[in-house]
């Protein structure tokens, strides 16, 4: 029977696992990509990692995410991460929207969803003794600095940003900058030295800004409203962290530990606007300590509609919310097969079943 997962290893990760096997204590960073409903397929791996694998191997771990990835990592930092992930999967799959919605309506709906996920326990993901959360967001600058209340100015600003990105990813840095909301006991020093063209701001997470940071990290331009007036952060309009950091191409090599990256693709795209540019896929020394785990094509073929859940499903299913909810939750249930397969591999790694970056 074909495996439900594919595993890719960086050179340093491969050498270390060949010599020492894989222990939970080896994992220093867990990234989580943007990608909306695609993140549901990682539910089983999330529950296994944080409910079992890491449970008896306490150490400081950096959990860093954008958009749905930030929501997943916030759930992972709860005292009961499995219960938090189950809430997130159930509530996310259960979203319902009328035929025509405004960005304000979607923002209010997502804020209410986040409040239910946080379940009145905002302090928990901020105070975890070992798992330190970082939430990636984007702050508009240049033409995107002053677009509030003007949909056409926002649209024009993002069209200009996309045009610049088509020529060079570096040009996108004229339109947006990265703002990292980080655990108070982790100053995110591994991200502070420049590693790409984007300016970065660092803001400590608190009960006053966690909700807004998480909502901003998932606020797709023109679909949700920009988030403003975030406590402790520079003034401005904040949007989806995936615009800059879609699959989180970050300087992981700076950490001596390993990176365990459950992902819905077997490759890494730097920014959301780079999705249609395969020549921009990451394949460099930043991935040398990475273990990338993703659904295999054979596994995806067994899911409803033979694909991962995605944002287009809101249009494809239309007002048949029950059928979409059923199919998405079926994919969530099937994701346990991925977790079981990786747990077996982690217990006795077979490097012949992996590929390299």
pTM, full prediction: 0.97
Does residue 355 belong to any structural domain of this protein?
no
pLDDT(1) > 80: no
The total number of structural domains that make up the chain = 1
**What tens digit of pLDDT does each residue of 202-236 get?**
999 999 999 999 999 999 999 999 999 999 999 99
Does residue 277 belong to any structural domain of this protein?
yes
Average pLDDT over residues 267-280: 96
149 falls in which pLDDT band (50, 70, 90)?
low
Which residues sit opposite 290 in a β-bridge?
259
Does residue 356 belong to any structural domain of this protein?
no
Can you give the pLDDT at residue 332? Answer: 98
Residue 74 CB coordination number (10 Å): 30
Q: How many Cα atoms occupy the beta-carbon half-sphere of 177 within 13 Å? A: 16
Can you give the pLDDT at residue 289? Answer: 98
Can you give the pLDDT at residue 278? Answer: 95
94 falls in which pLDDT band (50, 70, 90)?
very high
Which residues sit opposite 292 in a β-bridge?
8, 261
**What tens digit of pLDDT does each residue of 289-298 get?**
999 999 999 9
Can you give the pLDDT at residue 187? Answer: 85
Q: Across the chain, where does the E strand assignment appear?
A: 5-9, 27-32, 61-66, 131-140, 176-182, 200-204, 238-240, 258-262, 290-295, 355-356
Residue 184 CB coordination number (10 Å): 11
pLDDT(155) > 70: yes
CA nearest to 43, candidates 328, 349, 345 = 328
- Asked if residue 243 lies in contact with residue 269, where contact means CB atoms within 8 angstroms, the answer is no
Average pLDDT over residues 316-333: 98
**What tens digit of pLDDT does each residue of 41-79 get?**
999 999 999 999 999 898 999 999 999 999 999 999 999
148 falls in which pLDDT band (50, 70, 90)?
low
Can you give the pLDDT at residue 152? Answer: 84
Cα gap 234→223, rounded to integer Å: 23
Q: What percent of the chain has pLDDT above 70?
A: 99
Q: At what angle do helices 68-76 and 210-217 cross, to 10 degrees?
A: 140
Does residue 192 belong to any structural domain of this protein?
yes
Does residue 254 belong to any structural domain of this protein?
yes
Mean pLDDT taken over the chain: 96
Here the tokens at position 10 are: 């960086």
Can you give the pLDDT at residue 244? Answer: 98
Q: Rounded to the nearest 5°, which phi and psi values hold at 334? A: -65, -25
Can you give the pLDDT at residue 150? Answer: 77
β pairing state of 258-262 and 290-295: parallel
Q: How is residue 246 annotated by DSSP? A: S
**What tens digit of pLDDT does each residue of 172-210 get?**
999 999 999 999 999 889 999 989 999 999 999 999 999
Provide the residue range defining the domain that includes 42.
5-349
Average pLDDT over residues 5-30: 98
Does residue 357 belong to any structural domain of this protein?
no
Cα gap 277→230, rounded to integer Å: 33
Provide the 3-class DSSP secondary structure of residue 356: strand
């Amino acid at each position: 029977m074909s495996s439900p997962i594919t595993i890719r290893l960086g050179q340093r990760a491969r050498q270390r696992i060949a010599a020492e096997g894989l222990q939970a204590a080896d994992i220093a960073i867990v990234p989580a990509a943007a990608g909306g409903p695609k993140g549901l397929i990682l539910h089983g791996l999330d529950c296994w990692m944080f409910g079992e694998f890491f449970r008896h191997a306490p150490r400081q771990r950096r959990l860093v995410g954008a958009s749905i990835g930030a929501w997943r990592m916030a759930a992972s930092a709860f005292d009961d991460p499995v219960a938090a992930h189950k809430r997130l999967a159930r509530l996310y799959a259960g979203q319902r929207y009328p035929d025509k919605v405004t960005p304000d309506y979607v923002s209010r709906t997502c804020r209410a969803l986040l409040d239910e996920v946080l379940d009145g326990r905002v302090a928990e993901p901020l105070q975890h003794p070992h798992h330190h959360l970082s939430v990636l967001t984007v702050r508009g600058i240049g033409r995107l600095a002053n677009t509030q209340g003007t949909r056409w100015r926002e649209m024009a600003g993002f069209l200009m940003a996309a045009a610049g990105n088509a020529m060079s990813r570096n040009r996108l840095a004229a339109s947006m900058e990265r703002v990292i909301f980080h655990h108070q006991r982790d100053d995110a020093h591994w991200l502070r030295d420049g590693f790409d063209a984007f300016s970065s701001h660092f803001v400590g997470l608190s009960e006053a800004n966690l909700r807004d940071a998480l909502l901003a990290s998932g606020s797709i331009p023109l679909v949700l409203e920009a988030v403003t007036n975030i406590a402790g952060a520079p003034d401005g309009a904040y949007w989806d962290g995936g615009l800059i950091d879609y699959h989180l191409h970050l300087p992981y090599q700076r950490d001596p530990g390993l990176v365990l990256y459950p992902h819905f693709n077997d490759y890494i795209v730097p920014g959301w606007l780079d999705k249609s540019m395969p020549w921009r896929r990451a394949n460099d020394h930043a991935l040398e300590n990475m273990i990338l785990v993703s659904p295999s094509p054979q596994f995806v073929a067994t899911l409803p509609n033979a694909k991962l859940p995605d944002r287009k499903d809101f249009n494809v299913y239309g007002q048949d919310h029950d059928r979409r909810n059923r199919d998405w939750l079926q994919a969530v249930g099937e994701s346990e097969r991925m977790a079981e397969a990786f747990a077996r591999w982690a217990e006795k790694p077979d490097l012949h079943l992996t590929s390299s970056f």
